[in-house]
């Protein structure tokens, strides 16, 4: 050893090249350390930048994903709650306690509702019980709207009013009540209203009573609104398949829809929303 320090340059690999940062083993040690820190900073900077960018991108994607999810959920809810046109009603459209008659309008359609005397026979005399009670007693007590009922031993459970708001169905419609024209006196529907074969009314097995539906004859495009105030159609002794029909219309409603002569028609039925003027 001659007391001098031989030069040992520090080589750092960067890509395909080696870069010299110092040339003294002792005197340049401090500078070498600084150089190493500088090089490490250069090498780590792209990695840190990439990680930070990924974190920001992931965070942004997370926010976007959450926003999309909320929007999608809101749309599904809106799709279920917003349904068709709200029809404006002129006048009250339900018989209140003690009232015997009311007249109201839904669009261009007029409805004349009369409470039937309890001694009148039912149009559907095969209904045996309503809400576990004799039919007339259930009507007198007002326990009809969505109450379960029996017909020839078969139990029927109507849908709730909330479920009925979004009801729609396509199927076969028929009409009924012609026989009441030949019988003396009046007849009563399942909710205690006077049956008028010329009015725009209908019978349904599962909808609450009363409720309003729009019926469209798919064979000719004609459409009307009817008041559902009775139960049916049910299987008959001479035609068990009649129970498969989705709605039974009054003669007046069938005339408006243009299928009186043929007896049945393929229709689309959906409940409508009403708002009192």
Domain that residue 61 falls in: 11-81
Helical ranges in the chain per DSSP H: 29-81, 135-141, 161-164, 251-257
169 shares a domain with 53: no
User: Looking at the structure, do residues 90 and 76 belong to the same domain, yes or no?
Assistant: no
Domain assignment present for 4 = no
At 78, the pLDDT band (50, 70, 90 cuts) reads: very low
Residue 277 has pLDDT above 90, yes or no: no
Same domain, yes or no: 58 and 154 = no
Task: Say if residue 248 is exposed, middle or buried (CB neighbours under 10 Å; 0-12, 13-18, 19+).
Answer: buried
Query: In terms of domains, do 202 and 243 share one?
Result: yes
Clarify whether residues 76 and 157 are in a common domain.
no
Place of tokens 């917003």: 82
Distance CA 99, CA 115 (A): 8
Q: How far apart are CA 102 and CA 114, in angstroms?
A: 7
Q: How far is Cα 159 from Cα 232, in angstroms, rounded to an integer?
A: 14
The two three-digit tokens of residue 111, written as one number: 């409805």
Q: Which residue has the higher pLDDT, 162 or 80?
A: 162
Radius of gyration of the chain (CA): 40
Q: Are residues 92 and 59 in the same domain?
A: no
User: Mind listing the pLDDT tens digit for each residue in 131-181?
Assistant: 999 999 999 999 999 999 999 999 999 999 999 999 999 999 999 988 776
Which of 171, 178, 175 minimizes the C-alpha distance to 253?
175
Euclidean distance between CA atoms 89 and 104, whole angstroms: 7
| Dist CA 227 CA 113 (whole Å) | 10
Whether this prediction's pTM lies above 0.95 is answered by no
Q: Give yes or no: residues 116 and 56 share one domain.
A: no
Query: Domain total for the chain?
Result: 2
| Residue 230 near residue 201, CB atoms below 8 Å | yes
222 and 231 in contact (C-beta within 8 Å)?
no
Domain closes at, from 66, 81, 96: 81
In a domain, 97, yes or no: yes
pLDDT at 66: 34
Q: Which of 32-36, 116-120, 192-196, 211-215 has the lowest mean pLDDT?
A: 32-36
How far does CA 264 lie from the centroid of its chain?
28
38, 160: one domain: no
Asked if 74 and 166 sit in the same domain, the reply is: no
Q: Are strands 273-276 and 211-217 parallel, antiparallel or unpaired?
A: unpaired
Kindly report which listed range (57-66, 73-82, 142-151, 254-263) carries the lowest average pLDDT score.
Answer: 73-82
- Please indicate, yes or no, if residue 30 is contained in any of the structural domains: yes
138 with 216, same domain: the answer is yes
Per-residue b/e over 83-111, b at no fewer than 16 CB within 10 Å? eeeebebeeebebeeeeeebebebeeeeb
Question: How many whole angstroms separate alpha carbon 272 and alpha carbon 6?
Answer: 99
User: What CATH number is given to the structural domain containing 256?
Assistant: 2.40.40.10
């Amino acid at each position: 050893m001659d007391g001098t320090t031989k030069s040992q340059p520090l080589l750092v690999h960067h890509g395909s090249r080696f870069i010299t940062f110092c040339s003294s083993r002792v005197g340049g040690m401090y500078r070498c350390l600084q150089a190493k820190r500088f090089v490490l900073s250069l090498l780590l900077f792209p990695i840190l930048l990439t990680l930070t960018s990924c974190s920001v991108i992931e965070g942004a994607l997370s926010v976007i994903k959450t926003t999309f999810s909320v929007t999608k959920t809101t749309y599904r809810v809106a799709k279920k709650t917003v349904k068709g046109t709200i029809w404006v009603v002129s006048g009250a459209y339900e018989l209140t306690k003690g009232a015997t008659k009311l007249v109201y309008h839904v669009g261009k359609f007029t409805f004349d509702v009369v409470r039937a005397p309890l001694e009148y026979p039912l149009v559907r005399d095969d209904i045996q019980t309503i809400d576990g009670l004799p039919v007339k007693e259930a009507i007198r007590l007002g326990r009809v709207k969505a109450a379960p009922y029996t017909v020839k031993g078969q139990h029927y459970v109507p849908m709730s009013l909330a479920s009925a708001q979004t009801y729609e169905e396509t199927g076969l419609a028929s009409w009924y009540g012609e026989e009441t024209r030949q019988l003396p006196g009046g007849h009563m529907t399942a909710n205690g209203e006077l049956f008028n074969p010329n009015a725009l009314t209908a019978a349904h097995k599962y909808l609450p009573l009363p409720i309003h539906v729009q019926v469209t004859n798919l064979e000719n495009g004609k459409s009307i609104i009817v008041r559902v105030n009775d139960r049916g159609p049910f299987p008959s002794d001479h035609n068990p398949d009649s129970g498969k029909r989705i709605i039974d219309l009054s003669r007046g409603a069938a005339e408006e829809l243009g299928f009186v002569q043929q007896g049945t028609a393929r229709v689309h039925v959906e409940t409508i929303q009403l708002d009192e003027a």
